[in-house]
Amino acid sequence: MRLGRSRSLTIETSSKRLVKILTDYDTVEENQGYTNVPEKHIMRATIASLRRHPEPIIFKLVDHLNPTSGLRKARDLANAALNKPSSVQMCFDPCSNPEPGVAGAKLSAMTQALAYKSIAIYENERKPVQTRRSTSVNLAAIQRFCEDTYQKVPSESEIWKGLRTRDLDKKCQEFCWKLIHDAYFVGKRWLHIPGYEDRGYCKHCDNVVESMDHILFECNAVGQKQIWELTKSLWNKRQSFWPAPSLGSVTAFKFINDPNADTRLSPGDKRLFAILAPESARLIWRLRCERVIEKENKNFSRQEIFSRWKSMINGRLHTERLATNTKFGRCALPPLRVKKTWEGLLENEDELPDDWSGAGEVLVGIGVDPPS
């Protein structure tokens, strides 16, 4: 950033917060070394340049709708800069100036989480982490799915952020994370190990090399198709729109949306889908591992699959009811949220008391018919 150093400077902005950040030496952002600020390098370089400016700097708060302010022109210039080819580098580089810029985080404001984050940022800048090719391929497939099905394309960071939700069980979070990174040791990975090549092929489908896509969404082994049918039948009690099971529907559950509907899905519907899709996919994976490792690839019966699926869903429902207990304080799940998630799906729902979500002594389970 280059400023005319012999002239006073007037900066127009519509953000009081920005003025505070640029002028106050005791903000949270300053004390934390701007670690949690997006585009932290630009912010640090800007503040360092302003603090070195020898002449007075005047901040002018203006209405962002005021046509006489220069905000619109500044925004146009910023957009023009963003549209420049990526090879054009911006001139904000605090390291290029030998003068001291902005200090890092203060020790008095340091927390363990902030320290970890700062170290991770430092390490990543020193040696940027290369994205795995399979991760990029999977993220692109998820984005294509969202565009085709939900008519919205989430960014890669939005997809990752979508997984960090309390609605998702920790094991399901890990499962989705590994799915996107293609971290499971199946299929083609066995083909390179002499003597174990046959483990790469599915024993239930003709000469097909296994993959997580095949196991979860295509395999002929008993369980895969049935579990998705059961999940769909449960979901259809609430919504007719059903996204076809795929890597995108399982990992990008947060973006579910019926593009042809007049109204958006309710938070309860979205939360239900966030539970059903990843939990069902993980159950298919667990059953596949049991079948291959413990049952010498012998198929489960349809009744067994039904019982395991129903038990998994009821288990999750039970956990949610326990989580409404007030002994968990601020971490307790609001009973109304649990109710809105599961309403319309329960057995003998009309006979349940109003506070069934928190009443531990009441037996509650989902109402689904066993396979014929």
From CA 20, how far away is CA 52, in angstroms rounded?
17
CB of 226 to Zn ion, least distance (A): 14
From CA 101, how far away is CA 287, in angstroms rounded?
57
* Site of tokens 């902030």: 114
Nearer to Zn ion, 125 or 206 (CB): 206
Interface with Zn ion (CB under 5 A), residue from 42, 205, 209, 352: 205
Other beta carbons within 10 Å of 103: 11
* Site of tokens 């990975």: 189
Sign of CA dihedral 213, 216, 221, 225: negative
Interface with Zn ion (CB under 5 A), residue from 45, 179, 219, 281: 219
Contacting range for Zn ion; rule: CB under 5 A; set: 123-131, 146-154, 205-213, 333-341: 205-213
CB of 206 to Zn ion, least distance (A): 9
Q: Assess contact for 371 and 303: CB atoms under 8 A.
A: yes
Nearer to Zn ion, 25 or 185 (CB): 185
Nearer to Zn ion, 23 or 220 (CB): 220
Sign of CA dihedral 306, 310, 311, 313: positive
209 binds Zn ion (CB under 5 A): no
Q: Is 144 helix (H, G, I), strand (E, B) or coil?
A: helix
* Site of tokens 């198929």: 299
204 binds Zn ion (CB under 5 A): yes
Q: What is the DSSP letter of 95?
A: G
CB of 213 to Zn ion, least distance (A): 11
CB of 333 to Zn ion, least distance (A): 38
Nearer to Zn ion, 271 or 282 (CB): 282
Nearer to Zn ion, 37 or 205 (CB): 205
Other beta carbons within 10 Å of 137: 12
Work out whether strand 9-13 and strand 57-61 pair parallel, antiparallel, or are unpaired. Answer: parallel
The two three-digit tokens of residue 72, written as one number: 């619109």
x-marked contacts with Zn ion along 295-334 as a string, rule CB under 5 A: ----------------------------------------
Nearer to Zn ion, 146 or 219 (CB): 219
Cα angle value 340/346/351 (rounded, 5°): 100
Nearer to Zn ion, 141 or 205 (CB): 205
Contacting range for Zn ion; rule: CB under 5 A; set: 15-23, 217-225, 309-317, 342-350: 217-225
CB of 86 to Zn ion, least distance (A): 42
From CA 168, how far away is CA 85, in angstroms rounded?
39
CA nearest to 254, candidates 263, 240, 243: 243
292 binds Zn ion (CB under 5 A): no
Interface with Zn ion (CB under 5 A), residue from 172, 179, 202, 272: 202
x-marked contacts with Zn ion along 153-192 as a string, rule CB under 5 A: ----------------------------------------
Contacting range for Zn ion; rule: CB under 5 A; set: 143-151, 201-209, 283-291, 343-351: 201-209
Nearer to Zn ion, 217 or 253 (CB): 217
From CA 97, how far away is CA 321, in angstroms rounded?
58
CB of 219 to Zn ion, least distance (A): 3
Other beta carbons within 10 Å of 66: 12
Contacting range for Zn ion; rule: CB under 5 A; set: 59-67, 211-219, 237-245, 337-345: 211-219
CB of 296 to Zn ion, least distance (A): 16
Nearer to Zn ion, 221 or 252 (CB): 221
Q: How far is CA 107 from the centre of its chain?
A: 31
CA gyration radius, the chain? 27
Which residues contact Zn ion by CB under 5 A?
Answer: 202, 204-205, 219
